[in-house]
Amino acid sequence: MKAIINVTEPGKINVTIASALNLIREDPEATVEIVFHSDAIAYVCSNENEERLSSLMSKGVDIVACRNSLIAKKLNEKSVVKGVRIVNAGIYEVLKKESEGWLYIKL
């Protein structure tokens, strides 16, 4: 199974992360990607969240940040937690994965 989770609201980050972990627990072979953009983008730029994001990545979850959102929110790419992959447009990443057969999860 391949699943992509789109998170745009800070209030939905915890449930998004919990859902990703639940997917991995149920299916250790699953490929899971979380795309952070819009108002949720600051989460991947905070040192406070580095340990949590690193833990997710160590479990195989691909964490993705939207460059357009970084620019819109005036956040420096250098502040993005190490290991987080930056794409030009988060929405394009979601649509591309959907077109490749990934399951799209919106929480």
- Give the pLDDT confidence of 61-93 residue by residue, as tens digits: 999 999 999 999 999 999 999 999 999 999 999
- pTM value is 0.96
User: 3-state class of 48 per DSSP?
Assistant: helix
Run of H or E residues at 72: helix 67-72
Residue positions counted in the chain:
107
List, for residues 5-60, the tens digit of each pLDDT value.
Answer: 999 999 999 999 999 999 999 999 999 999 999 999 999 999 999 999 999 999 99
Q: How far is CA 76 from CA 9, 16, 42, 47, 52, in A?
A: 20, 24, 10, 13, 20
